[in-house]
């Protein structure tokens, strides 16, 4: 039954703001006060008799109008007095009904109000939906939004992220790292970052939900797990799932396995407990391992003086090369992170080329420090996403990343600073020398102590040049 209402002109001193007002922020009071001064208050307040103070009234709808009327200096305001709102739940229902069909109630305020009602005995989502005119699904989504946390709710209030993103983030309540990652991606305003973060979060949450079940399931089948550290040690070696018919690295597939499976060759070599699973949290998969073969120790003969000298020279060169590689890599990465020339036709063309380089594109992004999860993107979406990413870097940065990829990126770069790889007898010796030449001529990477020691190690002085030069001292730091 609808409450009975009567119109009254009430003094401001008789009106009390409702402590349970669902609107937490009253905005644009001064602007509304100016309008009231010019035209008067055109829309009455909705009030109900105060349950404790006779002659006073609680405001149900119109807290902003009440504040503006006070600021405008009014003594009385028009009010619709409604009977039947004695209880707090009834007052909250009325405030929701008054505000949700207007655009000035934020979704966070709406969600808080729904949760207040649910905290009262006898209130359900369906009852609230019926009372407020909202659908049950809307009420559920708004209440679920509160689980996203204060940072997300503040971002919604400040319109840094939209409602859809906030509701998506709320699904990961309790997973603080995922919530943080998703919130940062949403606030970036870049669709590819949001899609990438959402894809990572979905896969990570699925893994976190499934791996305890897999552990329990495989343990019951008789498998003995080893931890990640053991699986990565020299005591075990990996077995590819393709070599294990009936098994998999995917948790969802392993949950369907009904008995312990051990291939005949593994059973013969390692016994019934030879096949060991491990939960790999880095790759979010189950890793299968068998004991690595033990190497027999063979007593080596005493080295000669020449062998000891050769070993010492090798150690000096290898030590210097390790120092040089780290310094050189830091130097070149610094060049990538030091923009100079910003825009231009060449810049856009180069970004386009890198984005359309298929398998090399992800390596360019890694070198630039701008990796993205493209597993769920189509070819066209992937190309466009990388193109947008690369446009943020300068021409010099893109060119340097391209040069380092041609050199071989991390793997190829390491080979330039490994003693055996610098042997003149290596099949690609000239190619490596040309790469070092590029780094020297274009990027100013001069021959370091380690490279000089390597050259001296592989190219000793000719017989007619006299004694070889004394071994160079290895410096603790190498400046390029």
Full-model pTM: 0.45
432-443 average pLDDT score: 83
In 3D space, the residue among 133, 101, 103, 132 whose CA is nearest the CA of residue 117 turns out to be 132
111-118 average pLDDT score: 76
Stronger pLDDT, 248 or 298, i.e. the higher one = 248
What is the percent of the chain where pLDDT is above 90? Answer: 12
98 with 5: CB under 8 angstroms?
A: no
Output phi, psi for 17, to 5 deg.
-65, 140
98-102 average pLDDT score: 56
Q: How confident is the model at residue 209 (pLDDT cuts 50, 70, 90)?
A: very high
Contacts of 28 (CB under 8 A, 6+ apart): 64
270-296 average pLDDT score: 89
Q: How confident is the model at residue 2 (pLDDT cuts 50, 70, 90)?
A: low
478 with 451: CB under 8 angstroms?
A: no
CA distance 168 to 205: 13
- 364-396 pLDDT, tens digit each: 888 888 877 777 788 888 888 889 888 888 888
105-116 average pLDDT score: 75
Q: Which residues pair with 6 in a beta bridge?
A: 81
* Position 328 pLDDT exceeds 60: yes
User: What's the chain's average pLDDT?
Assistant: 81
Contacts of 206 (CB under 8 A, 6+ apart): 251
* Position 295 pLDDT exceeds 90: no
* Position 459 pLDDT exceeds 80: no
CA distance 395 to 335: 12
């Amino acid at each position: 039954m609808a409450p009975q209402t009567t119109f009254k002109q009430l003094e401001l001193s008789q009106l009390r703001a409702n402590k349970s007002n669902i609107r937490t922020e009253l905005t644009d009071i001064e602007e509304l006060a100016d309008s009231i001064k010019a035209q008067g208050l055109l829309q009455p307040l909705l009030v109900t008799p105060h349950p404790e103070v006779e002659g006073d009234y609680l405001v149900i709808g119109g807290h902003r109008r009440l504040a503006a009327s006070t600021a405008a200096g009014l003594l009385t305001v028009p009010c619709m007095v409604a009977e039947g709102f004695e209880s707090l739940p009834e007052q909250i229902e009325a405030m929701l009904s008054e505000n949700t069909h207007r655009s000035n109630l934020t979704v966070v305020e709406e969600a808080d109000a729904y949760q207040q009602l649910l905290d009262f005995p006898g209130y359900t989502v369906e009852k609230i939906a019926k009372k407020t005119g909202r659908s049950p699904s809307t009420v559920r989504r708004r209440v679920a939004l509160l689980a996203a946390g204060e940072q997300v709710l503040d971002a919604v209030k400040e319109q840094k992220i939209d409602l859809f993103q906030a509701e998506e983030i709320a699904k990961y309540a309790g997973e603080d790292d995922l919530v943080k990652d998703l919130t940062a991606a949403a606030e970036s305003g870049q669709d590819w970052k949001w899609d990438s973060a959402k894809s990572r979060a979905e896969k990570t949450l699925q893994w976190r939900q499934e791996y305890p079940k897999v552990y329990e399931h495989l343990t019951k089948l008789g498998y003995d797990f080893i931890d990640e550290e053991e699986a990565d040690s020299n005591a075990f070696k990996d077995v590819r799932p393709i070599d294990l018919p009936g098994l998999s690295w995917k948790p969802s597939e392993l949950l369907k396995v009904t008995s312990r499976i051990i291939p005949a060759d593994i059973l013969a070599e390692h016994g019934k407990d030879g096949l060991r699973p491990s939960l790999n949290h880095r790759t979010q998969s189950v890793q299968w391992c068998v004991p690595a073969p033990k190497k027999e120790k063979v007593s080596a003969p005493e080295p000669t003086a020449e062998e000891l000298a050769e070993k010492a020279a090798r150690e000096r060169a290898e030590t210097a090369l390790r120092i040089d590689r780290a310094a050189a890599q830091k130097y070149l990465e610094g060049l990538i992170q030091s923009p100079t020339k910003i825009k231009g036709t060449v810049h856009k063309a180069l970004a386009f080329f890198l984005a359309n380089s298929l398998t090399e594109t992800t390596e360019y992004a890694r070198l630039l420090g701008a990796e993205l999860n493209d597993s769920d993107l189509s070819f066209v979406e992937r190309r466009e996403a990388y193109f947008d990413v690369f446009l943020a870097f300068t021409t010099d940065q893109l060119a340097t990343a391209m040069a380092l990829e041609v050199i071989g990126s991390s793997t190829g770069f390491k080979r330039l600073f490994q003693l055996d790889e610098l042997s003149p007898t290596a099949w690609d010796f000239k190619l490596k020398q040309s790469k070092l030449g590029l780094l020297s001529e274009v990027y100013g990477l001069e021959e370091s102590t380690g490279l000089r020691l390597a050259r001296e190690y592989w190219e000793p002085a000719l017989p007619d040049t006299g004694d070889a030069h004394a071994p160079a001292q290895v410096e603790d730091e190498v400046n390029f």
